[in-house]
Amino acid sequence: MAALERTLVLLKPDAVARGLVGKILQRFEEAGLKVVGTKMVQMDADLAKRHYFDLEERFGKSVFDVTANFMQTGPVIAYVFEGVEAVANVRRMVGSTFPNQAPPGTIRGDFAHTSKAYTEEKGTVAANLIHASGNVEEAAYEVDLWFDKSELFDYQTVAERFLF
């Protein structure tokens, strides 16, 4: 059954440094997703470890280290979006992890281009602009990690009268 969900999106340091914040936010808002929380954060080692708690187990220490270090190179903008099946819809809009595999029309497909082969060869991170929660359970964990309840808002947009 379709559900109203909340999901976390992080605009990574490369998205912020490249000045793509407005363009990326606009895509989510135009799709009918509602911003219910936002803030700019300088990620530290502790937050990186809590956010990427399973990355080392899944992909190895070197992937965790490269990712955690990259996420600390500049500010990150965190959003909580709300909408019908928000988790899956945001993932679809973001595109594949490796931008060269993301189709045109997705955020990564339109604004990034690095490949898995290149990042592995160089021992670097895939500069893919954005993190989006992978599933509903992950979204709940990540929203709670990044935002206090007092930082999340319930309100109605004009568009909700037509979309929901």
Distances (CA, A) of 110 to 28, 39, 42, 90, 154: 14, 24, 26, 15, 32
Taking the model in full, what pTM does it have? Answer: 0.93
Structural domains in the chain?
Answer: 19-148 (3.30.70.141)
Residues marked as catalytic: 131
For residue range 76-113, what is the model confidence (pLDDT) as tens digits?
A: 999 999 999 999 999 999 999 999 999 999 999 999 98
pLDDT above 90 coverage of the chain, percent: 79
For residue range 110-140, what is the model confidence (pLDDT) as tens digits?
A: 999 888 899 889 888 889 999 999 999 999 9
Considering only residues 55 and 99, tell me which one the structure prediction assigns the higher pLDDT. Answer: 99
Looking up tokens 């602009």 gives 129
Burial degree of 11 (CB within 10 A; 0-12, 13-18, 19+): buried
**The one-letter amino acid at 95:** G
